[in-house]
Amino acid sequence: MMGDRALRVGLFGAGAISTQHLEAIEALDGIDLAGVVSRSTERARSLGERLGVPWSTHPEDLLAREDIDLVSICTPSGMHASQALAALRAGKHVVIEKPVALSVADAEAVVREGEDRGLTIAVISQRRYEPVVRALKVAVDDGRLGRIIMIIAEGLYHRPQSYYDSAAWRGTRDLDGGVLMNQAIHTVDLLRWIGGPVASVTGHVATLGHRMESEDTAAVSLRFESGALGMIAATTCVTPEQPVELRVYGDQGHVRLVGETPAEWEVPGTPAPVAEDRPADRGVGTTRTWGTSSVGFLRQYEDIVDAIRSGRPPAVGGREGRDAVELITAAYQADQSGHTVELRGGSR
């Protein structure tokens, strides 16, 4: 029904992370911003007037517009599921900033709604599109590292107390979540994507360095269905912040990624990949939000636009987003109960 015209997207939320979405949309052909919504009148008006699009403080105003094809949800995490459901019921495809929801039940409700209506759900996980990460995924899938023995993910972040004090919803259980659901979910997603379905989770979470409701520190151990073991270490208490690390060990080789750099690449018969797509090369903005640029968002939006136009699933859909939430909430359950939590495996 869209024909050859560009996809028209409406933005929910005008906070920090919306910058990366907007820069990606602006840089990409085949998609145009058509409206913005924010609970803040000042932010909605300022953004709408600056970008030359209609603005509102009421999501239903945007959802009622027949010219909107896609809604990008950049609001606090606790609002993602309800806003995604409203958009899907209005016949819109959705892009949801991570996480897709704060509970597995809510994530599954979003997935079912999209499937029942034949609409696309994409969950932001821009690190999957990094060339080095994709090369690692291919190496693992092709068996070049042999049998995978262990995968270790480390997210050692720094967030000052002022970060959590900057908005009442930050660090809360109902609207935000802690270091696992907010910062480390990207690496959790990569660990799950590369290692496959997870069979069981144990772990501990704690609030050690901030005044906040959710955890700022977590240590998680897991067993993949393949038999491999995994570990996740995450905190927002480190000074200075360290580059995120992902280490994959097989019985024939191993890879250690530090940020987007292959610090160690011992893959038989396969040379180390190199980073690509500098921001200036893609015409995308260089604004960084807590270390995150728009380059990965551009790559993911390219996939989303093509998926909607071709009718195929996006590379990171609702079910993939649900799987990351399942793993994280299992870690919370394990901490509360003191027992291992068995998972049903999620998407395959």
Average pLDDT over residues 303-317: 97
**Which residues in 65-90 are b (16+ Cβ under 10 Å) and which e?**
beebbbbbbbbbbbbbbbbbbbbbeb
Q: What is the structure's pLDDT at 346?
A: 57
* Beta-sheet pairing, 7-12 with 31-37: parallel
Q: What is the structure's pLDDT at 277?
A: 53
Q: What is the structure's pLDDT at 279?
A: 47
Please enumerate in sequence order all residues whose Cβ is within 8 A of that of 100, keeping only pairs 6 or more positions apart, or say none: 80, 81, 84, 107, 110, 121, 123, 318, 321, 322, 325
Taken in order of first residue, the domains within the chain and their CATH numbers are 7-125 (3.40.50.720), 127-263+274-281+317-342 (3.30.360.10)
Q: What's the order of all strands across the beta sheet hosting 121-123?
A: 55-56, 31-37, 7-12, 70-73, 93-96, 121-123
Q: What is the structure's pLDDT at 291?
A: 59
Does pTM surpass 0.85? yes
Average pLDDT along the chain: 94
Phi then psi for residue 59, to 5 deg, are -55, -35
Average pLDDT over residues 186-196: 97
Name the token pair of 285. 């903005």
Please count the other Cβ atoms lying within 10 Å of the Cβ belonging to residue 20. Answer: 26
pLDDT per position as a tens digit, 205-243:
999 999 999 999 999 999 999 999 999 999 999 999 999
* Residue 271, helix vs strand vs coil: coil
* Residue 54, helix vs strand vs coil: coil
pLDDT per position as a tens digit, 269-300:
999 998 665 544 455 656 666 557 789 999 99
Q: What is the structure's pLDDT at 5?
A: 87
pLDDT-derived band at 72, boundaries 50, 70, 90: very high
pLDDT per position as a tens digit, 82-123:
999 999 999 999 999 999 999 999 999 999 999 999 999 999
Q: What is the structure's pLDDT at 286?
A: 60
pLDDT at 309 over 70: yes
Average pLDDT over residues 152-171: 97
pLDDT at 2 over 80: no
Q: pLDDT exceeding 70 applies to what percent of the chain?
A: 93
Q: What is the structure's pLDDT at 51?
A: 96
SS3 of the chain: helix, strand, coil, percent, to 5: 35, 25, 40
Average pLDDT over residues 35-51: 96
Give the total residue count for the chain.
348
Q: What is the structure's pLDDT at 274?
A: 83
Average pLDDT over residues 146-159: 98
Cα 118 to its chain centre, rounded Å, is 22
Q: What is the structure's pLDDT at 348?
A: 53
Please enumerate in sequence order all residues whose Cβ is within 8 A of that of 243, keeping only pairs 6 or more positions apart, or say none: 258, 259, 261
